[in-house]
């Protein structure tokens, strides 16, 4: 067998994302992690067994305990892989008669938290306690509550704050105070398990979760007042702003619900599964697995954060139309916050790939995933229209631990129940972006003044007859007085976005025809008449211009200035 240094994939540790060094990770039992299987094809099962992101730079590395690979028989076409897996399994079985009872100890490297480029990180001691906690206990799971970062008061160890809102007003206030300047948000929805499309908003979009690096907001639409108002202007503005990246798992289905039930056309939405597969399989060179099949949140958290995602007791199958229990708050907050950290970590590793592939396109653009060097994969879309509101398999019902009083107390200071009593009597105003000051070219100003002076100088009797309009005269003077400007450039100076070039040509010609204005024959022929089809030039309206340009002698056709 090759040395560990030359291995890219190994049954016991999966794919190792590292550049200079590779650490051999202990093989932990699959039951140590409480995650549901990803929605992937069977041929991806072995490749999905574990992942350890690396290549961090600055001497940093990350580690993980890898999950046991699925050794069930694959398709006939995968026989060599099956033989290898079976041989490895038989070898391990002979050496370890009872792997569940004789698990190697966790190494010190496995007790270090994964790298994140964000300011909020898991402290070493917190991560260590989670890895060493009794399996299945609340302390053994990953959740938002593990992170610490810079606080508003300057403290370096502030916790993530959760804002639980039960009205449109409180939701808008929280958005205005904490989220309007954020460019990356985690996003998720919850709804009643048995909700039908014909039922109310409260059952189909029961809870909205958004998260930034330092805060999480839970908008419990199911408890909003029965006045028919579920969406405030700030929430709609954030969701429809393409400059704000909203990311999550099966975000297309969630945004479809927003469109159907709340009339919100979300933009700037990124599917985490696409980024996850792009980074993972670009690193291993298994490009055939880069596709748009979904990978659930639990799998991504386990492989990236190296801890199982907290689920709570039957959170997915519980009611989301009633006031939330503590385990529901923790679960829903963790789901949204996980999206923020996952995006940051995986995008960091994408940037470290050489060559570097581009970030996957936003979901609403409906474009395929691109590899490095411009290679585009002919991947299928995430799902058909009939499937747009389905969640990935494996996330329907998950039973987790019962939370102890001690554990709940430790999270009490991170959760704030927002209420209307704290609201100001002043309405929340949506701050519209100020239009950029319009810079008018001095040549346009001068041409406009000349056109106005010309119209003012005409005899009163002329005003009742056919005459050139101000905008036609302005186009003429801008072109005639500036020999370096062609009609295309005149069109760009007169308006943003530019006028049509032929519109400007007609303006100039009409001004000359109606007012018998002066023009240069060579410019008239090269810049104006050359753009008009010959069949049109043969009409009486343009014959005068054609004949004037064909006459020998003077280069200018005299007329009024």
Q: DSSP H helical segments within 181-262, as ranges?
A: 201-204, 233-239, 251-262
Residue percentage of the chain with pLDDT more than 70: 67
Q: Are 121 and 149 in contact (CB under 8 A)?
A: yes
User: Which range (205-219, 412-426, 496-510) has the least confidence?
Assistant: 412-426
| Mean pLDDT, residues 101-124 | 85
Q: What is the DSSP letter of 217?
A: E
- HEC sequence for 406-475: HHHHHHHHHEEECCHHHCCCCCCCCCCCCCCCCCCCHHHHHHHHHHHHHHHHCCHHHHHCCCCCHHHHHH
Evaluated on CA atoms 313, 316, 318, 320, the torsion sign reads positive
Task: Answer with the residue of higher pLDDT: 185 or 324.
Answer: 185
pLDDT tens digits along 343-384: 999 999 999 999 999 999 999 999 999 998 777 766 555 443
Q: What is the dihedral of CA 498, 499, 505, 509, to 10 degrees?
A: -120
C-alpha pair distances (Å), 68 with each of 38, 103, 232, 558: 14, 12, 47, 91
Lowest mean pLDDT among 8-12, 155-159, 526-530: 8-12
Lowest-pLDDT choice from 205-219, 244-258, 289-303, 406-420: 406-420
Q: Which positions ≥6 away from 441 have C-beta within 8 Å?
A: 493
What pLDDT, on a 0 to 100 scale, did the predictor assign at position 41?
A: 45
Report the predicted TM-score, pTM, of the whole model to 2 decimal places: 0.58
Spatial distance between the Cα atoms of 508 and 512, rounded to a whole number of angstroms? 6
- Cβ-contact 378, 123 below 8 angstroms: no
**What was the pLDDT predicted at 231?**
94
Q: Which domains does the chain have, with CATH numbers?
A: 110-422 (3.30.420.10), 452-557 (no CATH)
- Residue 434 confidence (pLDDT): 55
DSSP assignment of 102-166 equals SPPPPPTGGGSPPP-SSS-B--HHHHHHHHHSPTTSGGGSB-GGG-EE--TTS-TTEEPEEEEE-
Sign of CA dihedral 536, 541, 542, 544: positive
pLDDT in tens, 144-183: 999 999 988 788 899 999 999 999 999 999 999 999 999 9
Between CA 526 and CA 489 the distance in angstroms is: 15
What the block records as the tokens of 243 is 């400059």
Q: Averaged over 69-84, what is the pLDDT? A: 40
Q: Give the other-Cβ count within 10 Å of 505's Cβ.
A: 22
Distance (Å) of CA 276 to CA 35, 38, 162, 336, 350: 16, 12, 26, 16, 9
Mean pLDDT of 7-31: 42
């Amino acid at each position: 067998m090759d040395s560990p240094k030359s291995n890219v994939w190994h049954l016991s540790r999966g794919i190792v994302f590292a550049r200079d060094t590779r650490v051999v990770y202990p093989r932990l039992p699959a039951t140590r992690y409480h995650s549901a299987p990803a929605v992937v094809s069977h041929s991806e099962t072995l490749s999905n067994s574990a992942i350890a992101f690396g290549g961090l730079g600055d001497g940093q590395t990350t580690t993980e305990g890898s999950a046991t690979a699925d050794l069930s028989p694959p398709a006939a076409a995968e026989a060599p892989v099956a033989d290898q897996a079976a041989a490895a399994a038989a070898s391990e079985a002979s050496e370890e008669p009872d792997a569940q009872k004789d698990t190697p100890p966790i190494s010190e490297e496995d007790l270090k938290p994964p790298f994140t480029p964000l300011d909020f990180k898991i402290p070493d001691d917190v991560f260590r306690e989670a890895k060493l906690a009794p399996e299945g206990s609340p302390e053994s799971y990953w959740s938002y509550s593990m992170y610490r970062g810079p606080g508003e008061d300057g403290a370096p160890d502030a916790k993530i704050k959760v804002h639980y809102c039960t009205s449109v007003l409180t939701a808008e206030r929280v958005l205005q105070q904490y989220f309007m300047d954020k460019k990356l948000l985690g996003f998720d929805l919850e709804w009643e398990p048995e909700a039908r499309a014909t039922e109310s908003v409260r059952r189909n979009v029961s809870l909205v979760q958004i998260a930034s690096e330092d805060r999480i907001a839970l908008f419990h639409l199911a408890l909003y007042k029965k006045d028919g108002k579920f969406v405030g202007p700030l929430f709609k503005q954030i969701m429809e702003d393409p400059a704000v990246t909203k990311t999550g798992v099966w975000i297309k289905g969630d945004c479809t619900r927003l469109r159907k039930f709340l009339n919100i056309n979300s933009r700037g939405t990124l599917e985490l599964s696409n980024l996850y597969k792009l980074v993972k399989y670009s690193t291993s060179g298994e490009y055939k697995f880069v596709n748009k099949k979904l990978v659930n949140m639990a799998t991504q958290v386990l492989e990236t954060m190296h801890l199982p995602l907290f689920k709570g007791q039957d959170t997915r199958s519980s009611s989301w139309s009633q006031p939330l229990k503590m385990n529901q708050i923790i679960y829903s907050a963790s789901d949204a916050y996980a999206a923020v950290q996952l995006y940051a970590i995986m995008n960091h590793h994408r940037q470290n790939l050489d060559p570097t592939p581009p970030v996957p396109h936003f979901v609403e653009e409906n474009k395929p995933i691109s590899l490095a060097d411009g290679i585009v994969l002919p991947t299928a879309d995430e799902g058909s229209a009939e499937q747009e509101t389905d969640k990935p398999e494996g996330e329907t019902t998950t039973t987790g631990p019962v939370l102890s009083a001690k554990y709940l107390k430790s999270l009490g200071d991170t959760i704030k129940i927002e209420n209307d009593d704290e609201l100001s009597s002043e309405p929340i105003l949506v701050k519209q972006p100020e239009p950029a000051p319009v810079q008018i070219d001095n040549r346009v100003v001068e041409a406009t003044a000349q056109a106005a002076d010309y119209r003012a100088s005409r005899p009163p009797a002329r005003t009742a007859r056919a005459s050139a309009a101000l905008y036609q005269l302005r186009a003429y003077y801008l072109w005639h007085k500036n020999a370096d400007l062609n009609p295309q450039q005149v069109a760009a100076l007169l308006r943003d976005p530019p006028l049509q070039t032929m519109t400007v040509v007609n303006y100039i010609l009409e001004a000359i025809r109606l007012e018998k204005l002066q023009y240069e024959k060579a410019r008239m022929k090269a810049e104006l008449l050359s753009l008009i089809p010959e069949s049109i030039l043969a009409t009486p309206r343009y014959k005068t211009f054609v004949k004037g340009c064909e006459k020998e002698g003077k280069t200018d056709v005299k007329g009024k200035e």
